[in-house]
Amino acid sequence: MGFLLFATAAGFMGWKAGQEDQTLQNLQEHGRKTEATVVAIVGRSEEDRANSLTVRFTTPSSTVQADIDVGDRSGNDAKPGGQVPIVYNPSDPTEVRHADRLDGSDADGIRLGSVVIGLLAAGFLVGTAREVMRVKEQTEAAKTLDTPHPGV
């Protein structure tokens, strides 16, 4: 059961990392860079630095509001009403990232988590296989003791 739980989590995280890679590649190739206005600071790190922002920006066809994650350096001076550089997908403007976050480091973190959880799944599989073999050996040993031997 542990194997299935961890293997499913590892697979899901790997899938999410693949999606993030595809999004970043699309933004690098086709994205439009612009300045966005910080609407709110949504999340802060333990050091009290902004690490997630709600931003608003204008595209040729509409005004978009979206949440973005920011790196340690890029979130230091983020304040509501301030400006941050973003890159958005012109065909889906809600697909947006901070301009400093297009290097794939987010996907690397997800991928690393997937590997760690995959190793936990493998550990559960090995442990389960060993336990099955131990029980099988005990069962066979018990059968041998219970079987009457001819001539005894």
Q: What is the pLDDT of residues 76-134, one digit of tens each?
A: 567 899 999 999 999 889 889 988 877 766 666 776 777 788 887 888 788 888 888 88
Global pTM reads: 0.63
Q: Which two tokens stand for residue 81?
A: 């009403």
| Alpha carbons 135 and 133: distance in angstroms, whole number | 6
Q: What is the pLDDT of residues 52-64, one digit of tens each?
A: 899 999 999 889 9
What is the pLDDT, as a whole number, of residue 113? 77
What is the pLDDT, as a whole number, of residue 4? 76
| Alpha carbons 7 and 126: distance in angstroms, whole number | 13
Mean pLDDT in residue range 35-48 = 88
End-to-end CA distance of the chain: 45
